[in-house]
Structure 1
């Protein structure tokens, strides 16, 4: 390009707007607007999440009664729970038993119901009906099921009149109490996973399903070889979230059994509650909460590492 053409281009080019000094330009104002809109969420996260988490760390390392002198103990609270508190180890076992029963039942039943509803008329109505227990407060559901389980209750009446079975006292028998809690929990929580699986089924690519049918895939083969792999991200999400929820079980066991009979249904969260608000030792309670967090984090990390082998994402 000639020198004269460069000069002409420079003269006709629009002037470049200079950013005002002191950060007062349009972009600076937009940045402050963004900070203003984000500030409520940031303040809420700091006050109600980050600050309590930090305080829990501090409390777990101290003798921290609700009232009275506080002293630094280091990791003595953790040693007390793991070596000296028999209830804590029982609560760990019960929490894993509940999770081992609740997780597969919830996932398998919700998946089966989702496929059944997908082939029914009035699918939206069925989805709403199954989702209603999920939005019902847990306390309300637990109180209703406690009345169903009690002697001379609904279950006892129909088992006797229809099948001639003398039903046990479900909540007072150590052999049946955990199963009773699991049954109530599955009924209350199955609707959420059903909606997730229903959405995954509706999103299955019809072209792939039609190609599989042309190749002869039918029934169980089609489900295991085509549909389930396509739904693996939803299965992974449901499994992970259900595991995290089941490890934090508390309300239903507390309402139905108070952790009994004996210690047969006491859970890790209930152990934290009893240490903090009944024994009034917040340091031990905070240590139990951090141990629960460590267990959930470890299991979740294993799930995320293992999902690379069986979860198939569309790219």
Structure 2
């Protein structure tokens, strides 16, 4: 310790044997709690990704039994592969549309459902329920709804509107997948926004109203700025999860029609498990990781410009 009078360091009493033993027990208990997470990250994340990087420098085809070092040949091929870059463009379009629609709808729902009105609990459960539904089950239900003779076109026909073949029209297939995924995950973001809204200090908003601020001004100048840390979290999670979408593509469109829904994760799967070119698929996986890392870094790097309390 440092004395407030003399400014000199004072030696405190040496810890006893029992206190040192309790400290070691506390450290051991803490390590025991975090060990499963550390083991999971290493065993299911870092180690497999290390193997992916290693495989990316090889020509590996299990069908013919080849596993040959090729250096940077896979990455050189990647740079000139128009299919990969087209798939990357589709992936970015899908991820950005999903992020904007999901975050916007979640914010609107949160602002509506945070009000103390009858039935809000029921509506919260209604919008959150798709989150806990199996992705495969959710996608199969929508497969019937968006079929050419499905429920959505049936409702449109009663209104005198001829609906498109949502999953077989190149102009509508990607948008349809975005909508399906938005309704699948918007409930989680809605709950996060509701929690953030409830944590906004009521006295600050009340002071603004007393000073004559309109409800819109309170929302834009107080509520939303105080929610920006949650907005950052939601946008990052939503964008990263959208970049590796696979199940809806595999079940509904298989990358079609044409290549309109061939996202890079589906191209990786097809390269590895259909064409049996695991080395080149690993290079595609490294590219996807780098793109996601750059996008996450951009979001994190710009947070000080718009996130409240960031310095």
Q: TM-score, normalised by structure 1?
A: 0.87
1:158 aligns with 2:159: no
How far apart are residue 314 of structure 1 and its match? 8.3
How far apart are residue 313 of structure 1 and its match? 2.5
Match of 1:112 among 93, 108, 114: 108
User: Could you tell me whether the CA contact under 8 Å between 2:95 and 2:243 is conserved in 1?
Assistant: yes
1:253 aligns with 2:249: yes
Counterpart in 1 of 2:60? 64
Q: Aligned partners of 2:210, 2:49: CA distance in 1, in Å?
A: 56
Counterparts of residues 79-228 of structure 1 (less than 5 Å): 79-84=76-81, 86-119=82-115, 120-161=117-158, 163-228=159-224
**Secondary structure of the corresponding residue to residue 64 of structure 1:** strand
**Secondary structure of the corresponding residue to residue 199 of structure 1:** helix
Q: TM-score, normalised by structure 2?
A: 0.88
Structure 1 unaligned residues grouped into runs of 5+: 1-13
Cα distance change, pair 17–79 in 1 and its aligned pair in 2 (3 A): same
Q: Aligned partners of 1:219, 1:41: CA distance in 2, in Å?
A: 44
Counterparts of residues 272-311 of structure 1 (less than 5 Å): 272-311=268-307
Q: Aligned partners of 1:275, 1:92: CA distance in 2, in Å?
A: 14
Structure 2 unaligned residues grouped into runs of 5+: 1-12
- CA offsets, 1:59-80, max 9 Å, x none? 1111122351211112211221
Aligned residues: 296
- CA offsets, 1:13-43, max 9 Å, x none? x998569xxxx96655665565555544443
User: Could you tell me whether the CA contact under 8 Å between 2:128 and 2:187 is conserved in 1?
Assistant: yes
Q: Aligned partners of 1:191, 1:178: CA distance in 2, in Å?
A: 21
**Secondary structure of the corresponding residue to residue 261 of structure 1:** coil
Q: Aligned partners of 1:208, 1:241: CA distance in 2, in Å?
A: 29
Q: Aligned partners of 1:219, 1:25: CA distance in 2, in Å?
A: 58
User: Could you tell me whether the CA contact under 8 Å between 2:304 and 2:310 is conserved in 1?
Assistant: no
- CA offsets, 1:143-182, max 9 Å, x none? 1111111121101111001x20111111111011111111
Q: Aligned partners of 1:287, 1:231: CA distance in 2, in Å?
A: 39
